[in-house]
Amino acid sequence: MADRMTIVEGDITRLDVDAIVNAANESLLGGGGVDGAIHRAAGSELQAECKTLGGCPTGEARITRGYALAARHVIHTVGPIWQGGGSGEEDLLAACYRESLGLAAGNGLKSIAFPAISTGVYRFPPERAAGIAVGTVHAFLHGDQPIESVIFCCFGEASVQAHEKALAALGGD
């Protein structure tokens, strides 16, 4: 399963995959960080479609078209705001990855790219988040799923290293 996961450093808005995941806020109407970058790169049609969705609770995901992006779809998920770890943040973050993967699989998508959800302004500790991300994706890929490629698109060397460490901890599986 680890051979179906790749770690890259770069701009998720430029990836040519079936879907990129947007670390969105509950309104789905754009914001800062990766959310704002995806909305800017996709064009105004993305926001117009997002307005029809009625938002998204933390831990859930919604799918839209990709519009001007190289990716055919955007899967919007709302990660938890880190509050010290005692408010179910780890379970909610894992749910973001599971829900996004489930939407991708349910829509027949084969490739998906994730940012490091909740590690920016939501302050989730990056190493902890990377472990949850890689572990949740690994577990999902063990099922009978059509997804062939999962990319962790990191912003910065520290995020790359955290994801590489989490992937190495899985061993060769």
Type and span of the H or E element at 152: strand 149-154
- Are the C-beta atoms of residues 109 and 145 closer than 8 Å to each other? no
The single-letter DSSP state of residue 110 is -
Residues with Cβ within 8 Å of residue 94, at least 6 apart in sequence: 132, 135, 136
Among residues 9, 14, 18, 7, the alpha carbon closest in space to that of 146 is found at 18
35 as an active site residue: the answer is yes
Cross-strand partners of 153:
8
Token output for 15 = 């990836």
> In the 3-class helix/strand/coil scheme, how is 24-75 assigned residue by residue?
ECCCCCCCCHHHHHHHHHHCHHHHHHHHCCCCCCCCCEEEEECCCCCCCEEE
- Write down the catalytic residue from 16, 18, 35, 91: 35
- Residues designated as active site: 35
